[in-house]
Amino acid sequence: MSQPELTVVKGLVHVRLVAADGTVKIDEETSNLITQIGDQYLMERAAGISSPPAQATGMRLGTGTTATAKTGGGAALTTYLSGSGKAFDATYPTSSLSAPNRVITWQTTWGAGVATTASNITEAVIVNDTIATDATSPAANTLARVLLASPAPKAAGDTLTITWTWSMSGT
């Protein structure tokens, strides 16, 4: 008997940090981890369950280095960067078909003077709690988390854009 085809959701994060003079400080892509709450979010919303996890609301940044994990401490920001909670950019999220994959894309941009730090930004999350609250999100509200491959400080004139894609396909 053959094995059934599995559906796999994979995440990819594109990070672009640009200085005030237009110099690109970071331009990289890295894989992310969809947390246990993220899995629940996808599955229960798809199945029409009456009380799924809340809709994704935005992203937050941090300066921690705890390894990513499906649950527990690695499933949430470990060191929240004050002022970094931000809703998705105006036209996001989006959905597209890049045959044979369905792709969902979120994007958030932190402009000049927002979420600046002399410390390295090392982590980012997609959350589903009240984004206007200037506080970290617990693992229970974190759908995905990534550790940046090339951490960097964000100076006052810098613009940081994080574009996060989840693609779904059979394997």
pLDDT band (50, 70, 90) for residue 99: confident
Residue 66, pLDDT score: 94
**Nearest to residue 117, comparing CAs of 161, 168, 75, 158?**
158
* pTM score: 0.92
The answer, yes or no, to whether residue 168 has pLDDT greater than 90, is no
**Cis before 4 (ω within 30):** no
- Measured CA to CA, the distance from residue 59 to residue 125 in angstroms comes to 5
